Structure 1
Amino acid sequence: MTGLKLGLGALLTATALATTVCAAGAVELRMSWWGGDSRHEATQAALKVCGEKHGHTIKPEFTGWSGHLEKVTTQIAGGTEADIMQINWPWLPLFSSNGEGFADLKELSGVIELDNWTDAQLDSTSVNGHINGLPVSTTGRVFFFNKTTFDKAGVPLPATWDELFAAARQIRENLGEEYYPLNAIKETAALLVSLYTTQQTGKDLIDPATVTVAWTPEELAAGIELYGKMMKSGVTMTQEEANAAGNANLYEKPEWTDGRIAGSYEWDSTYFKFSDPLQEGQNLVPVKILTGEGAQTEGIYRKPSMMFSISKRSENQEAAGQILNCLLNEPEGIEALGTTRGLPASKAASSQLKDAGSIKPELADANAIIMAASGPTVSPLNEHPDVRAIFLDTLEEYAYGQIDANAAAEQIIDGVNEAIEEYRP
């Protein structure tokens, strides 16, 4: 009889627990994102397995890239956004200038394993101390050099700016003046100027406290002068030479595919975009960030390629946190998503996919460089369209000799400060 009572008690307890789980699992969520077919299919599969694991149902809402910002803007303005959202990193100032535009994920640390990201990664998606989203993947600019060209010229791959200038002299002497060790035009030129200036100052372009340009005109002028020296010494093509070569993407140009342009400064995740078009026998390798005398930091330009955020209006933030954690940190979600959003930033996801052989070694090497490098947290305002336009237009004026480095620096600083004025506290 006693055994029967114990059995009945255990049955009642189990029934109560099951009822509790069922009630908790009755939560219905929505998730929105942009992407292509492979990402759509993988994300729906991940939502299915994660929903089943945690007892929730998640309605998928997906589109292509075009128009997605407008859609999210309309939803957030009307309070109809999804519980979980894929948010582009440069959108942070648009939707959360004070840090309170999304749920603070620190408050969900009981269900989200935040220790799978470094402090630097979480800082990059935080505003005023509020974690506004989790980096889905982390990308950064890294140097790629065509080792075949350098070997042919008998020149080692550079590790410093001085070595890069020395390599240019030797390559052009040994192979001809149509050879250049580095590409540096348009956005790449602007980012190289920013890289050097960040290294020398230890500061990002944007001061996070004042939301103004952190560099003095003299500091920025030194970075611009480095670019001028590159053009004069044959490290890179002049603006005139680059324009004469056509407006095709670098990886489509014959000068790139046959090794005459033997390097560039690109996103780590684009390795195969640049290596695949090379002629047979050409070997493209990622190298550590070039630095020089007086550098205070490597100046790495590292950022989340995108982030997953939770709506501050969601009535089921804890359930949304469970699903978000499953997508990025738990085996079922990791396997389903794979690399459809790049190399995962989560340590758990990166380790699982590497062990499974899902990440190609070249991508892993390039990503390891950007993850290990030092540098200040990069503001999303660096990628504000007006900020980029001011940089590019001014550097083009400088490259054509219309203004000097000092005037260019002052023009950039004044223009950027005006462009970001509305985001100041």
Structure 2
Amino acid sequence: MRRKKMWALSLAMVLLLTLLGACSSGGNNAVSTSSSNTGTEGSNGEAAKPVTLRFSWWGGEDRHAATLEAIEAYKKIAPNVTIEAEYQGFDGYEQKIKTQLSSGTSADIMQLDLPWLQELVAKGDFFLDLIAQEGFDASGFDPDFLSNFGLYDGKLMAVPTGVNAYCLIINKTLADQLGIPTDIQWDWDTLYEQGKKLHEADSAKYLLLADQAALSQDFRTMLKQRTGEQWIKEDYTVGFAKEDAAAVFGWLQKAMEAGVYQPLGEADLFFGKLDQNPKWINQQMLMTTSMSSTLPTLKTVLPEGTEIITALPAIAKDAKNSGVVVRPSQLFAISNNSEHQEEAVKFLDWFMNDPEAAVILGGVRSIPPVKSSQQAAVNAGKIDAAITNAVDLGLEHAGIVDNSISTNSEVAKILDDVVQKVSYSKSTPEQAADELIASLTSKLAEIKDRTQ
């Protein structure tokens, strides 16, 4: 189901009416923490009944710790509510969420990735419409951001956890030691030249930290820069020619062979948890192309005092589009099957809008999407200036917004498989381009038949 930009105006009107109405009315982990809501008494003055909510998310240690601290703080507001925290790393989380949703066993509140939401709303009525909930205040969100990334058929199925930008995250302390410049606009040629030079000087060092997902994102970025178009069109056809894909695969293979990237067989031991890669921890890798929300976790594992900066990702000198992605860090949704929807809505409203929550959470999900929460976190010194810089640069140089089909998980799996073959030199760039186009064409026709 496609995102509906036309709903931005209607969403703004709904938010305005909501405000006017308010004025007139005057590994896997599980942790349980009791907490409570504004108004913990029933209408007859009796104490509210105990409620248990499940809250599921993925992330690194910084995100886990901050989220657990926020849950703990919430119990001062709602002592009748117990929040069971279900958290883990990224690997395996998507399949778990989709399995739970299909079986009706999902958490009350869950963190989702954007491509999953786009697929799930087309498959079933899994999520609560947050616009229709009196207990949720969406007025602090940018209406266009909500419309582009959370609104489907006029229903607000999810809200962004933060504003996230695709960027270079650079260990400047290490770069200075190695004499590698950081005050430049990186392009793909510069990445290759600097990476090859670094690895030739010290075979234990690599310029770029990347797992399978990062390599596939680099492919999509380079492709959009070459064509200036969506890599998958709205009509379910590929948006590039063979020569475009072959050129990008050629660069990736050349860079892998030159030691610009760590060999994929080593890097993917830490898939979805790049901060745990010993090469990064031991400062044998200089930078990574990632989303700004990953910066706190990547920085925490380095020695105290290490300076981490951000920059725009590599942009080809002749780019037709920047390819810079600006999107929600993740999304929060509430299950339609929740037995305690009202309490879940109140908790999510507090989590997104309350200044105390914002100060606790800081930048663990990048820049807060609610202006007042963002300001509270900045005033408290809880947002790393490097994250703010990444988001500011991303917003200034944002590329085309990915359409829904471009981020489909079945489509992504095809790309991942072909990129892997190229990375292991099991396929030439030309063979890979042919395979990618043929596999995508077949899969896209299948998806089109299912959805239209």
What is the TM-score with the length of structure 1 in the denominator? Answer: 0.71
Larger Rg: 1
Given candidates 268, 271, 288, the residue that maps to 2:312 is 288
Q: Which residue of 2 aligns with 1:91?
A: 116
Letter in 1 for 2:157: N
C-alpha distance in 1 between matches for 2:360 and 2:268: 42
Q: Is the Cα–Cα contact under 8 Å of residues 113 and 330 in structure 2 kept in the other structure? A: yes
After the TM superposition, which residues 143-222 of structure 1 pair with which residues of structure 2 at under 5 Å, given as runs? Answer: 143-157=168-182, 158-161=184-187, 162-168=189-195, 171=198, 175-176=201-202, 179-184=205-210, 186-207=212-233, 209-222=234-247
Q: Does 1:39 align with 2:67?
A: yes
- Cα distance in 2, alignment partners of residues 156 and 144 from structure 1: 14
SS in 2 for 1:376: coil
Aligned residue in 2 for 1:398: 422
Structure 2's unaligned 5+ residue stretches are 1-24, 27-40, 58-63
Percent identity at matched positions?
Answer: 22
Q: RMSD of the TM alignment (CA)?
A: 4.5
Cα distance in 2 for partners of 1:282, 1:339 equals 18
**2:8 — aligned with what?**
none
Distance in 1 (CA, whole Å) between partners of 2:211 and 2:266 is 12
Shift of 1:109: 9.6
State the alpha-carbon separation in 2 of the partners of residues 109 and 372 from structure 1: 35
Tell me the amino acid that sits aligned with residue 181 of structure 1. L
Residue identity matched to 2:245: L
Change (3 A) 1:41 1:399: closer
How far has the Cα of 1:135 moved from its partner? 0.6
Q: Give CA-to-partner distance per residue, 1:361-394, whole Å, 9 cap, x none.
A: 3444444444544023335666655444432331
Whichever residue aligns with residue 56 of structure 2, its letter is W
Q: Give the corresponding residue for 2:291.
A: 267
- Map 1:218-297 onto structure 2 (within 5 A): 218-231=243-256, 234=258, 236-237=260-261, 239=263, 243=265, 247=269, 251=275, 255-257=279-281, 259-278=283-302, 283-297=307-321
1:63 is the counterpart of 2:95: no
Shift in Å, 1:197: 1.1
CA shift for structure 1 position 236: 1.0
Query: Counterpart in 2 of 1:131?
Result: 156
Q: Distance in 2 between matches of 1:151 and 1:313?
A: 53
SS of 1:410's equivalent in the other structure is helix
* Counterpart secondary structure, 2:99: helix
Residues 187 and 308 of structure 1: CA distance in aligned 2, closer, same or farther (over 3 Å): closer
Aligned-partner Cα distance in 2 for 1:235–1:164: 11
Q: Which residue of structure 2 lines up, in the alignment, with residue 75 of structure 1?
A: 104
Q: Which has the higher contact order (CA 8 A, sep 6+)?
A: 1
The size of the alignment, in residue pairs, is 393
Measured against aligned partners, the alpha-carbon deviations of 1:148-176 in whole angstroms (never above 9, x if no partner) come to: 44434544224131333443466567x45
Query: Using a 3 Å threshold, how does the CA distance of structure 1 residues 171 and 341 change in structure 2: closer, same or farther?
Result: closer
What per-residue deviation string (whole Å, max 9, x for no partner) do you get for residues 309-340 of structure 1?
35668999899766644431243554576666
Deviation at 1:122, TM superposition (A): 3.8
CA distance in 1, matches of 2:438, 2:154: 28
Structure 1 residues 104 and 217: CA distance shift in structure 2, 3 A: farther
Gaps of 5+ in 1: 1-15
Q: 1:399 to 1:317 in 2, by over 3 A?
A: closer
